[in-house]
Protein backbone atom coordinates (compact mmCIF):
# COMPACT_ATOMS: atom_id res chain seq x y z
CA UNK A 1 0.00 0.00 0.00
CA UNK A 2 1.36 3.41 -0.92
CA UNK A 3 1.85 6.04 1.74
CA UNK A 4 -0.91 8.09 0.22
CA UNK A 5 -3.29 5.12 0.31
CA UNK A 6 -2.26 4.42 3.91
CA UNK A 7 -3.08 7.96 4.94
CA UNK A 8 -6.34 8.03 3.03
CA UNK A 9 -7.40 4.66 4.43
CA UNK A 10 -6.49 5.60 7.98
CA UNK A 11 -8.22 8.92 7.77
CA UNK A 12 -11.30 7.24 6.37
CA UNK A 13 -11.29 4.51 9.00
CA UNK A 14 -10.95 6.98 11.80
CA UNK A 15 -13.98 8.82 10.61
CA UNK A 16 -16.38 7.75 13.24
CA UNK A 17 -16.17 11.43 13.77
CA UNK A 18 -16.82 11.97 10.13
CA UNK A 19 -19.81 9.66 10.05
CA UNK A 20 -21.21 11.14 13.21
CA UNK A 21 -20.45 14.49 11.70
CA UNK A 22 -22.46 13.66 8.59
CA UNK A 23 -25.27 12.27 10.68
CA UNK A 24 -25.33 15.38 12.77
CA UNK A 25 -25.16 17.49 9.66
CA UNK A 26 -28.15 15.65 8.24
CA UNK A 27 -30.00 16.05 11.52
CA UNK A 28 -29.09 19.66 11.58
CA UNK A 29 -30.29 20.17 8.02
CA UNK A 30 -33.60 18.48 8.79
CA UNK A 31 -34.02 20.41 11.96
CA UNK A 32 -33.26 23.66 10.22
CA UNK A 33 -35.96 22.84 7.68
CA UNK A 34 -38.45 22.14 10.46
CA UNK A 35 -37.42 25.37 12.07
CA UNK A 36 -37.98 27.10 8.78
CA UNK A 37 -34.56 28.70 8.34
CA UNK A 38 -30.88 28.23 7.93
CA UNK A 39 -30.05 29.59 11.36
CA UNK A 40 -30.51 27.37 14.38
CA UNK A 41 -31.02 29.70 17.29
CA UNK A 42 -32.30 28.69 20.68
CA UNK A 43 -35.80 29.75 19.87
CA UNK A 44 -35.91 27.36 16.94
CA UNK A 45 -34.56 24.52 19.06
CA UNK A 46 -37.32 25.27 21.51
CA UNK A 47 -39.87 25.20 18.71
CA UNK A 48 -38.68 21.76 17.70
CA UNK A 49 -38.90 20.52 21.27
CA UNK A 50 -42.48 21.72 21.47
CA UNK A 51 -43.41 20.34 18.07
CA UNK A 52 -41.95 16.91 18.80
CA UNK A 53 -42.10 16.25 22.51
CA UNK A 54 -41.64 12.50 22.11
CA UNK A 55 -37.86 12.61 22.64
CA UNK A 56 -35.91 10.62 25.18
CA UNK A 57 -32.99 11.16 27.53
CA UNK A 58 -29.76 9.35 26.65
CA UNK A 59 -26.29 9.35 28.21
CA UNK A 60 -23.79 11.50 26.37
CA UNK A 61 -20.07 11.81 26.94
CA UNK A 62 -18.51 15.18 27.60
CA UNK A 63 -15.82 15.54 24.98
CA UNK A 64 -13.82 18.29 26.61
CA UNK A 65 -10.31 17.47 27.70
CA UNK A 66 -10.58 18.25 31.39
CA UNK A 67 -10.75 14.60 32.43
CA UNK A 68 -13.80 15.06 34.63
CA UNK A 69 -16.16 12.55 33.02
CA UNK A 70 -19.17 14.20 34.56
CA UNK A 71 -22.64 12.81 34.06
CA UNK A 72 -24.08 14.36 30.96
CA UNK A 73 -27.53 13.58 29.57
CA UNK A 74 -28.96 14.67 26.25
CA UNK A 75 -32.64 14.92 25.40
CA UNK A 76 -32.93 13.78 21.81
CA UNK A 77 -35.90 14.55 19.61
CA UNK A 78 -35.79 13.09 16.14
CA UNK A 79 -32.00 12.94 16.17
CA UNK A 80 -31.57 16.45 17.54
CA UNK A 81 -30.44 17.31 21.07
CA UNK A 82 -32.90 19.85 22.35
CA UNK A 83 -31.74 20.10 25.95
CA UNK A 84 -29.18 18.76 28.39
CA UNK A 85 -29.03 17.96 32.04
CA UNK A 86 -26.51 16.50 34.43
CA UNK A 87 -26.54 14.15 37.40
CA UNK A 88 -29.92 13.94 39.10
CA UNK A 89 -29.80 10.21 39.70
CA UNK A 90 -29.71 10.59 43.48
CA UNK A 91 -29.88 13.29 46.13
CA UNK A 92 -26.74 15.32 46.64
CA UNK A 93 -24.84 14.72 49.87
CA UNK A 94 -21.27 15.18 51.13
CA UNK A 95 -20.68 11.46 51.19
CA UNK A 96 -22.37 10.73 47.87
CA UNK A 97 -22.15 13.88 45.80
CA UNK A 98 -23.89 14.19 42.48
CA UNK A 99 -21.43 14.08 39.61
CA UNK A 100 -22.64 17.35 38.11
CA UNK A 101 -21.10 18.78 34.97
CA UNK A 102 -19.87 22.32 34.66
CA UNK A 103 -21.35 25.06 32.49
CA UNK A 104 -19.02 24.21 29.60
CA UNK A 105 -20.03 20.56 29.47
CA UNK A 106 -23.68 21.31 29.99
CA UNK A 107 -23.78 23.66 27.03
CA UNK A 108 -21.95 21.53 24.49
CA UNK A 109 -25.08 20.96 22.42
CA UNK A 110 -24.69 24.60 21.43
CA UNK A 111 -21.38 23.69 19.85
CA UNK A 112 -23.08 20.98 17.82
CA UNK A 113 -25.99 23.15 16.78
CA UNK A 114 -24.26 26.53 16.70
CA UNK A 115 -24.98 28.62 13.62
CA UNK A 116 -21.23 29.13 13.05
CA UNK A 117 -20.35 25.46 13.13
CA UNK A 118 -18.58 24.16 10.05
CA UNK A 119 -20.61 21.26 8.70
CA UNK A 120 -18.50 20.10 5.76
CA UNK A 121 -14.94 20.38 4.46
CA UNK A 122 -13.97 23.71 2.98
CA UNK A 123 -10.86 25.17 1.43
CA UNK A 124 -9.66 28.54 0.33
CA UNK A 125 -10.78 29.11 -3.23
CA UNK A 126 -7.28 29.96 -4.45
CA UNK A 127 -5.40 27.46 -2.31
CA UNK A 128 -3.69 24.66 -4.21
CA UNK A 129 -1.35 21.87 -3.09
CA UNK A 130 1.90 23.65 -2.26
CA UNK A 131 0.14 26.81 -1.14
CA UNK A 132 -1.50 28.37 -4.21
CA UNK A 133 -1.98 32.10 -4.02
CA UNK A 134 -0.52 32.67 -0.58
CA UNK A 135 -0.97 36.42 -0.89
CA UNK A 136 -4.74 35.84 -0.55
CA UNK A 137 -4.46 34.32 2.91
CA UNK A 138 -6.99 35.98 5.17
CA UNK A 139 -8.78 37.58 2.20
CA UNK A 140 -9.74 34.62 0.06
CA UNK A 141 -13.21 33.14 -0.33
CA UNK A 142 -14.05 29.73 1.12
CA UNK A 143 -15.53 27.01 -1.06
CA UNK A 144 -17.09 23.71 -0.12
CA UNK A 145 -15.29 20.53 -1.20
CA UNK A 146 -16.20 16.86 -0.95
CA UNK A 147 -14.90 14.56 1.80
CA UNK A 148 -13.00 12.55 -0.81
CA UNK A 149 -11.28 15.67 -2.09
CA UNK A 150 -10.47 16.80 1.45
CA UNK A 151 -8.99 13.43 2.41
CA UNK A 152 -6.97 13.22 -0.77
CA UNK A 153 -5.61 16.72 -0.28
CA UNK A 154 -4.68 16.01 3.35
CA UNK A 155 -2.96 12.75 2.42
CA UNK A 156 -1.06 14.10 -0.57
CA UNK A 157 0.06 17.26 1.26
CA UNK A 158 1.29 15.27 4.27
CA UNK A 159 3.21 13.04 1.92
CA UNK A 160 4.70 16.01 0.06
CA UNK A 161 5.70 17.80 3.25
CA UNK A 162 7.25 14.71 4.79
CA UNK A 163 9.25 13.96 1.64
CA UNK A 164 10.35 17.57 1.20
CA UNK A 165 11.02 18.69 4.76
CA UNK A 166 10.88 15.59 6.97
CA UNK A 167 8.55 14.62 9.81
CA UNK A 168 9.82 17.39 12.08
CA UNK A 169 8.11 19.91 9.83
CA UNK A 170 4.65 18.53 10.71
CA UNK A 171 3.17 20.13 13.82
CA UNK A 172 0.38 18.50 15.75
CA UNK A 173 -0.95 18.48 19.29
CA UNK A 174 -0.69 14.67 19.22
CA UNK A 175 -1.80 12.11 16.67
CA UNK A 176 -1.55 8.33 16.46
CA UNK A 177 -1.90 8.62 12.72
CA UNK A 178 1.12 10.91 12.49
CA UNK A 179 3.07 8.80 14.96
CA UNK A 180 2.46 5.81 12.69
CA UNK A 181 3.58 7.97 9.80
CA UNK A 182 7.00 8.61 11.32
CA UNK A 183 6.31 11.22 13.98
CA UNK A 184 5.68 14.92 14.21
CA UNK A 185 6.71 18.07 16.02
CA UNK A 186 4.55 19.16 18.93
CA UNK A 187 4.18 22.15 21.17
CA UNK A 188 4.18 21.15 24.78
CA UNK A 189 6.20 21.38 27.95
CA UNK A 190 6.61 25.07 28.71
CA UNK A 191 3.30 26.69 29.55
CA UNK A 192 -0.03 25.98 31.21
CA UNK A 193 -0.85 22.30 31.70
CA UNK A 194 2.27 21.31 29.77
CA UNK A 195 4.55 23.14 32.18
CA UNK A 196 3.73 20.88 35.10
CA UNK A 197 4.70 17.28 34.22
CA UNK A 198 8.36 17.98 33.52
CA UNK A 199 8.69 20.02 36.69
CA UNK A 200 7.02 17.25 38.65
CA UNK A 201 9.40 14.76 37.13
CA UNK A 202 12.49 16.83 37.91
CA UNK A 203 11.42 18.10 41.33
CA UNK A 204 9.39 15.21 42.72
CA UNK A 205 11.05 12.38 40.88
CA UNK A 206 7.80 11.02 39.52
CA UNK A 207 7.60 9.46 36.11
CA UNK A 208 6.82 12.05 33.47
CA UNK A 209 3.48 10.58 32.45
CA UNK A 210 2.63 9.59 35.99
CA UNK A 211 3.33 13.20 36.88
CA UNK A 212 0.97 14.26 34.14
CA UNK A 213 -1.82 12.04 35.33
CA UNK A 214 -1.50 12.80 38.98
CA UNK A 215 1.15 10.60 40.53
CA UNK A 216 3.53 11.30 43.33
CA UNK A 217 1.09 13.21 45.49
CA UNK A 218 2.17 16.39 43.76
CA UNK A 219 -0.56 16.80 41.22
CA UNK A 220 -3.20 15.02 43.25
CA UNK A 221 -5.05 16.83 45.94
CA UNK A 222 -6.07 15.06 49.14
CA UNK A 223 -9.25 13.07 49.39
CA UNK A 224 -12.29 15.33 49.72
CA UNK A 225 -12.80 14.19 53.31
CA UNK A 226 -9.23 15.10 54.13
CA UNK A 227 -9.87 18.74 53.23
CA UNK A 228 -12.17 18.88 56.23
CA UNK A 229 -9.16 18.40 58.49
CA UNK A 230 -7.37 21.46 57.06
CA UNK A 231 -7.01 24.67 59.01
CA UNK A 232 -6.12 26.65 55.94
CA UNK A 233 -6.77 26.15 52.22
CA UNK A 234 -4.94 28.33 49.69
CA UNK A 235 -6.45 28.43 46.19
CA UNK A 236 -3.91 30.00 43.87
CA UNK A 237 -4.95 31.08 40.38
CA UNK A 238 -8.09 28.99 40.53
CA UNK A 239 -11.76 29.57 39.91
CA UNK A 240 -13.36 26.16 40.39
CA UNK A 241 -16.82 27.72 40.71
CA UNK A 242 -16.74 28.35 36.98
CA UNK A 243 -15.03 25.37 35.47
CA UNK A 244 -13.66 22.35 37.18
CA UNK A 245 -13.89 18.63 37.03
CA UNK A 246 -16.11 17.00 39.62
CA UNK A 247 -17.73 18.99 42.41
CA UNK A 248 -14.88 20.89 44.04
CA UNK A 249 -16.96 23.83 45.18
CA UNK A 250 -19.31 21.59 47.11
CA UNK A 251 -16.40 19.96 48.88
CA UNK A 252 -14.57 23.21 49.47
CA UNK A 253 -17.72 24.48 51.15
CA UNK A 254 -17.76 21.38 53.35
CA UNK A 255 -14.16 22.13 54.34
CA UNK A 256 -15.14 25.70 55.09
CA UNK A 257 -18.04 24.51 57.24
CA UNK A 258 -15.59 22.28 59.09
CA UNK A 259 -13.54 25.36 59.97
CA UNK A 260 -10.94 25.81 57.25
CA UNK A 261 -9.93 29.35 56.40
CA UNK A 262 -9.66 30.08 52.66
CA UNK A 263 -7.19 32.42 51.00
CA UNK A 264 -7.67 33.01 47.27
CA UNK A 265 -4.79 34.39 45.20
CA UNK A 266 -6.01 35.71 41.84
CA UNK A 267 -5.82 38.83 39.67
CA UNK A 268 -9.54 39.45 40.07
CA UNK A 269 -12.04 38.73 42.80
CA UNK A 270 -13.63 35.79 41.06
CA UNK A 271 -16.75 33.74 41.77
CA UNK A 272 -14.84 31.20 43.86
CA UNK A 273 -13.43 34.00 46.00
CA UNK A 274 -16.94 35.36 46.48
CA UNK A 275 -18.10 31.99 47.78
CA UNK A 276 -15.03 30.93 49.76
CA UNK A 277 -12.44 33.58 50.48
CA UNK A 278 -11.76 34.76 54.01
CA UNK A 279 -8.95 36.67 52.42
CA UNK A 280 -8.13 37.67 48.86
CA UNK A 281 -4.55 38.29 47.74
CA UNK A 282 -4.55 40.19 44.44
CA UNK A 283 -1.67 39.66 42.04
CA UNK A 284 -1.00 40.95 38.53
CA UNK A 285 -1.47 38.27 35.83
CA UNK A 286 1.74 36.44 34.98
CA UNK A 287 3.71 37.69 38.02
CA UNK A 288 2.91 34.94 40.54
CA UNK A 289 6.50 33.68 40.65
CA UNK A 290 7.74 36.99 42.06
CA UNK A 291 5.07 36.89 44.75
CA UNK A 292 6.03 33.32 45.69
CA UNK A 293 9.73 34.09 45.86
CA UNK A 294 9.12 37.07 48.15
CA UNK A 295 7.05 34.80 50.40
CA UNK A 296 10.09 32.52 50.53
CA UNK A 297 12.21 35.56 51.45
CA UNK A 298 9.95 36.40 54.39
CA UNK A 299 10.01 32.80 55.60
CA UNK A 300 13.80 32.54 55.36
CA UNK A 301 14.38 35.94 56.96
CA UNK A 302 12.20 34.93 59.91
CA UNK A 303 13.41 31.34 60.01
CA UNK A 304 9.88 30.02 59.46
CA UNK A 305 10.58 27.32 56.89
CA UNK A 306 10.19 23.70 57.96
CA UNK A 307 13.94 23.08 57.96
CA UNK A 308 13.60 19.57 59.30
CA UNK A 309 11.40 18.60 56.36
CA UNK A 310 13.68 20.35 53.85
CA UNK A 311 16.83 18.73 55.25
CA UNK A 312 15.30 15.29 55.23
CA UNK A 313 13.40 15.25 51.95
CA UNK A 314 14.78 17.87 49.57
CA UNK A 315 17.97 18.94 47.86
CA UNK A 316 19.02 22.33 46.60
CA UNK A 317 17.41 24.49 49.26
CA UNK A 318 20.66 25.70 50.81
CA UNK A 319 24.37 25.28 50.16
CA UNK A 320 24.64 22.40 52.61
CA UNK A 321 22.16 20.33 50.62
CA UNK A 322 23.22 20.65 47.01
CA UNK A 323 23.32 17.76 44.56
CA UNK A 324 26.73 16.25 44.02
CA UNK A 325 28.76 18.23 41.51
CA UNK A 326 26.45 21.27 41.56
CA UNK A 327 27.78 24.77 42.20
CA UNK A 328 26.93 25.54 45.82
CA UNK A 329 26.17 29.12 44.89
CA UNK A 330 23.16 27.94 42.87
CA UNK A 331 21.15 27.07 45.96
CA UNK A 332 17.64 28.50 46.31
CA UNK A 333 18.13 30.20 49.67
CA UNK A 334 21.04 32.31 48.51
CA UNK A 335 19.17 33.25 45.34
CA UNK A 336 16.23 34.47 47.43
CA UNK A 337 18.45 36.39 49.85
CA UNK A 338 20.45 37.89 46.98
CA UNK A 339 23.74 36.64 48.40
CA UNK A 340 25.46 36.46 45.04
CA UNK A 341 23.38 38.63 42.70
CA UNK A 342 22.95 41.45 45.25
CA UNK A 343 19.15 41.49 44.85
CA UNK A 344 17.25 40.38 47.96
CA UNK A 345 13.83 39.17 46.77
CA UNK A 346 11.93 41.07 49.45
CA UNK A 347 8.19 41.80 49.45
CA UNK A 348 9.07 45.33 48.29
CA UNK A 349 11.05 43.87 45.37
CA UNK A 350 8.10 41.64 44.46
CA UNK A 351 5.51 44.37 44.87
CA UNK A 352 7.11 46.37 42.07
CA UNK A 353 6.47 43.38 39.81
CA UNK A 354 3.27 41.78 41.05
CA UNK A 355 1.50 44.82 42.52
CA UNK A 356 0.66 43.07 45.80
CA UNK A 357 1.03 45.22 48.90
CA UNK A 358 4.23 44.29 50.84
CA UNK A 359 2.37 44.29 54.15
CA UNK A 360 -0.16 41.85 52.75
CA UNK A 361 2.65 39.66 51.38
CA UNK A 362 4.24 39.45 54.84
CA UNK A 363 0.92 38.68 56.51
CA UNK A 364 0.10 35.98 53.95
CA UNK A 365 3.61 34.50 54.17
CA UNK A 366 3.40 34.39 57.96
CA UNK A 367 0.05 32.65 57.85
CA UNK A 368 1.04 29.88 55.46
CA UNK A 369 4.33 29.34 57.29
CA UNK A 370 2.73 28.96 60.69
CA UNK A 371 -0.53 27.10 59.93
CA UNK A 372 -0.64 23.31 59.80
CA UNK A 373 -2.29 21.40 58.33
CA UNK A 374 -2.66 23.52 55.22
CA UNK A 375 -3.60 22.63 51.64
CA UNK A 376 -1.46 24.79 49.37
CA UNK A 377 -3.07 24.34 46.00
CA UNK A 378 -2.91 25.92 42.61
CA UNK A 379 -4.54 25.46 39.26
CA UNK A 380 -2.42 25.10 36.14
CA UNK A 381 -3.43 28.55 34.97
CA UNK A 382 -0.69 30.76 36.50
CA UNK A 383 1.83 28.77 34.44
CA UNK A 384 0.02 29.98 31.33
CA UNK A 385 2.67 32.59 30.71
CA UNK A 386 6.13 33.00 29.25
CA UNK A 387 8.47 30.55 31.01
CA UNK A 388 5.53 29.09 32.89
CA UNK A 389 7.72 26.38 34.41
CA UNK A 390 9.24 28.96 36.74
CA UNK A 391 5.87 29.33 38.42
CA UNK A 392 5.59 25.56 38.91
CA UNK A 393 9.05 25.42 40.48
CA UNK A 394 8.40 28.39 42.75
CA UNK A 395 5.02 27.03 43.82
CA UNK A 396 6.31 23.60 44.84
CA UNK A 397 9.37 25.09 46.53
CA UNK A 398 7.37 27.48 48.72
CA UNK A 399 4.77 24.79 49.42
CA UNK A 400 7.41 22.31 50.50
CA UNK A 401 9.06 24.98 52.66
CA UNK A 402 5.91 24.85 54.81
CA UNK A 403 6.29 21.08 55.25
CA UNK A 404 2.64 20.36 54.45
CA UNK A 405 3.33 17.04 52.78
CA UNK A 406 2.16 13.62 53.90
CA UNK A 407 0.09 14.85 56.83
CA UNK A 408 -3.70 14.60 57.26
CA UNK A 409 -5.35 17.78 56.02
CA UNK A 410 -2.15 19.00 54.40
CA UNK A 411 -0.97 18.98 50.80
CA UNK A 412 1.00 20.85 48.18
CA UNK A 413 -0.91 20.26 44.98
CA UNK A 414 -1.52 21.59 41.51
CA UNK A 415 -5.09 20.34 41.47
CA UNK A 416 -7.23 23.11 42.90
CA UNK A 417 -8.90 24.13 39.69
CA UNK A 418 -8.93 20.66 38.26
CA UNK A 419 -9.59 18.54 41.23
CA UNK A 420 -10.48 15.18 39.75
CA UNK A 421 -8.03 13.48 42.08
CA UNK A 422 -9.96 14.51 45.11
CA UNK A 423 -13.45 15.30 44.01
CA UNK A 424 -14.13 13.25 40.93
S1 LIG B 1 -16.07 19.39 34.32
FE2 LIG B 1 -17.25 20.22 32.58
S3 LIG B 1 -15.94 19.95 30.80
FE4 LIG B 1 -15.14 18.59 32.39
S5 LIG B 1 -16.16 16.59 32.07
FE6 LIG B 1 -17.39 17.74 33.56
S7 LIG B 1 -18.94 18.77 32.31
FE8 LIG B 1 -17.30 18.15 30.92
Specify the CATH number for the domain of residue 383.
Answer: 3.40.228.10
Among 9-13, 112-116, 164-168, 197-201, the least confident range? 9-13
Q: Is the overall model pTM greater than 0.85, yes or no? A: no
145: pLDDT strictly greater than 90: yes
Q: Do the domain assignments include residue 70?
A: yes
Are 399 and 295 within one domain? Answer: yes
Are 135 and 265 within one domain? Answer: no
Are 162 and 268 within one domain? Answer: no
Distance of CA 282 to the CA centre of its chain: 21
**Mean pLDDT of the chain, nearest integer:** 83
Are 268 and 375 within one domain? Answer: yes
Give yes or no for residue 70 CB within 6 A of ligand 1. yes
* Helices 3-13 and 147-165: angle between axes, nearest 10 degrees: 130
Q: Do the domain assignments include residue 188?
A: no
Are 272 and 407 within one domain? Answer: yes
Are 41 and 81 within one domain? Answer: yes
Query: How many A from CA of 240 to the centre of ligand 1?
Result: 11
Q: How far apart are alpha carbons 57 and 54 in whole angstroms?
A: 10
- The per-residue pLDDT for range 246-305, each reduced to its tens digit, is 678 888 999 999 999 999 999 999 999 999 999 999 999 999 999 999 999 999 999 999
Q: How far apart are alpha carbons 199 and 218 in whole angstroms?
A: 10
Q: Which atom of ligand 1 is nearest to the CA of 66?
A: 4
The set of residues, in sequence order, having a beta carbon less than 8 Å from that of 42 and lying 6+ positions away, is none
Q: Which atom of ligand 1 is nearest to the CA of 102?
A: 2
- DSSP letter for 346, please: -
Cis peptide before 373 (omega within 30 of 0): yes
Are 91 and 131 within one domain? Answer: no
Are 76 and 203 within one domain? Answer: no
Report yes or no: 31 and 76 within 8 Å, Cβ to Cβ.
Answer: no
317: pLDDT strictly greater than 90: yes
- For 279, the domain range is 193-423
Are 107 and 128 within one domain? Answer: no
Return the closest-CA partner of residue 62 out of 113, 119, 108, 117.
108
Q: Do the domain assignments include residue 220?
A: yes
Which of 112, 138, 160 delimits the end of a domain? 112
Q: Do the domain assignments include residue 366?
A: yes
What average pLDDT does range 174-196 have in this prediction? 80
Number of domains in the chain: 3
Are 239 and 364 within one domain? Answer: yes
Q: Which residue has the higher pLDDT, 420 or 211?
A: 211
Q: Do the domain assignments include residue 214?
A: yes
Q: How far apart are alpha carbons 184 and 182 in whole angstroms?
A: 7
- DSSP letter for 329, please: G
Q: Which of 71, 87, 102 to mutate to test the pocket of ligand 1 (most atoms within 8 A of CB)?
A: 102
Give yes or no for residue 104 CB within 6 A of ligand 1. yes
198: pLDDT strictly greater than 90: no
Are 168 and 243 within one domain? Answer: no
Q: Do the domain assignments include residue 117?
A: no
Give the pLDDT of residue 29: 39
Are 67 and 127 within one domain? Answer: no
Q: Do the domain assignments include residue 30?
A: yes
Give yes or no for residue 62 CB within 6 A of ligand 1. yes
- The per-residue pLDDT for range 51-87, each reduced to its tens digit, is 556 899 999 988 887 767 889 999 999 888 999 999 9
9: pLDDT strictly greater than 90: no
Residue nearest to atom 3 of ligand 1 (CA): 105
Q: How far apart are alpha carbons 52 and 406 in whole angstroms?
A: 56
Q: How far apart are alpha carbons 159 and 20 in whole angstroms?
A: 27
- The per-residue pLDDT for range 323-379, each reduced to its tens digit, is 999 999 999 999 999 999 999 999 999 999 999 999 999 999 999 999 999 999 998
237: pLDDT strictly greater than 70: yes
Q: What is the maximal distance between C-alpha atoms in the chain?
A: 77
What average pLDDT does range 400-409 have in this prediction? 94
pLDDT category, 309, cuts 50, 70, 90? very high
Amino acid sequence: MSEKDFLTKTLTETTLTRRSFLKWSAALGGAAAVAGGVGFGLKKVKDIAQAAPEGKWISAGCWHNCGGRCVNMAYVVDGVVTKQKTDDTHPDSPNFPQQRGCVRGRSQRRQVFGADRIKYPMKRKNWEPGGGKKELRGRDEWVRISWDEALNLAASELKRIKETYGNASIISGGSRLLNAYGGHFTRWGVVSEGAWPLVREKMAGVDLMEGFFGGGGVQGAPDRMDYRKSKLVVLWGANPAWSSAGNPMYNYLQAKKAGAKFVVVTPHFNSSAVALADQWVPVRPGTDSALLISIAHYMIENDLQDQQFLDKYTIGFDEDHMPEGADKRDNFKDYVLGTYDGIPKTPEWASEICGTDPTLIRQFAHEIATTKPMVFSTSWAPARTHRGQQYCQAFFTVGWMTGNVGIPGGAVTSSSGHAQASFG
